[in-house]
Structure 1
């Protein structure tokens, strides 16, 4: 059975978390995690930093798939727009790096990792630590990215994942069996 390497990304304009895992059947192995910090500068410079950071991760770790957290709408429309632009830079870098990109909402990620869609960051960090057998708890941004990768690994190993036609509330909706 060949291993599948998954890059999880939690986009943010200041800090983008990343996590790399390998899926061996139904087991997961930790590879790396951390953060890309865009620093100070103009918006285009910061977006370029995120793009180059993801590009470097892909060159270093050679993932075959990427899982990216979807944007949620903030109360502040300006923050939502900035986050969307950061997410766009991350998505473009992943696609141009040759990885298949899959997107998940925060609710789907938390449901897959913690079992509760409204779990807090500490619960996500604890479950990521347990699921990957880590010696230390990753920071919140790296843990969110690892959780996104774990979510994708769970979804892609689900026995009905290939047949599922849509998702509702983080659950797969499976079409009825064909009657031949």
Structure 2
């Protein structure tokens, strides 16, 4: 099964594709979908949608997993993140995927073992779990962690627990 993990952001949405075969995980690809901060919000959302559509056309997946929105201290940032996340969910659904959503703390716990893990710890564990993967940046590492979390949850569900 090919799983697409997505870490939504208006400036840099991370994505990561892994193959899950039983308990074996392997890296396929990862990257970042960027938008220009100089562009107006509607144009940025449209550009994000176009990039994700192109990614899904080029690299189809069997499943998708997306990080849930966390609330920032800055309400404007939270709203922009939520809008980018809405685009990501919509494009994934249009591609026939039913994205599963995971809280950031759950992803950290699944990959590192603690929900309070730092980004650098998540990146290190992703690198350990997917040896040889050249990770495009922190957003891509988070996206791969989300895909790994989904793979673990699917494997656990198959085992009945």
CA contact 1:8–1:146 (8 Å) conserved in 2: yes
CA contact 2:30–2:135 (8 Å) conserved in 1: no
Q: Matches of 2:159 and 2:53 in 1, distance apart?
A: 29
| Equivalent pairs, count | 160
Q: Matches of 2:132 and 2:73 in 1, distance apart?
A: 35
What is the CA deviation profile of residues 30-70 of structure 1, one whole-angstrom value per residue up to 9, with x for unaligned ones?
Answer: 00001000113110110011111111111111101110000
The match for 1:113 is 111
Is 1:94–2:92 an aligned residue pair?
yes
State which structure, 1 or 2, has the greater radius of gyration over its C-alpha atoms: 1
The match for 1:83 is 81
Which piece of structure 1 moves more, 151-160 or 115-124? Answer: 151-160
Tell me: higher relative CO, structure 1 or 2? Use CA pairs within 8 A at least 6 residues apart: 2
Q: Matches of 1:146 and 1:140 in 2, distance apart?
A: 10
**Structure 1: where are the runs of 5+ without partners?**
163-173, 175-180
Superposed CA RMSD: 1.5
Q: Aligned pair in 2 of structure 1 residues 42, 135: CA closer, same or farther (>3 Å)?
A: closer
Correspondence for 1:22 among 19, 41, 55: 19
Q: Matches of 1:70 and 1:135 in 2, distance apart?
A: 25
Q: Matches of 1:159 and 1:11 in 2, distance apart?
A: 26
Q: Matches of 1:135 and 1:97 in 2, distance apart?
A: 26
CA contact 2:65–2:100 (8 Å) conserved in 1: yes
- With normalisation by structure 1, the TM-score equals 0.85
Q: Matches of 1:115 and 1:93 in 2, distance apart?
A: 31
Q: Aligned pair in 2 of structure 1 residues 78, 135: CA closer, same or farther (>3 Å)?
A: closer
Displacement of 1:136 in angstroms is 4.2
Alignment of 1:1-180 (within 5 A): 4-39=1-36, 40-134=38-132, 136-159=134-157
CA contact 2:122–2:142 (8 Å) conserved in 1: yes
Greater share of helix: 2
Which piece of structure 1 moves more, 84-93 or 49-58? Answer: 49-58
**Structure 2: where are the runs of 5+ without partners?**
none
CA contact 2:31–2:135 (8 Å) conserved in 1: no
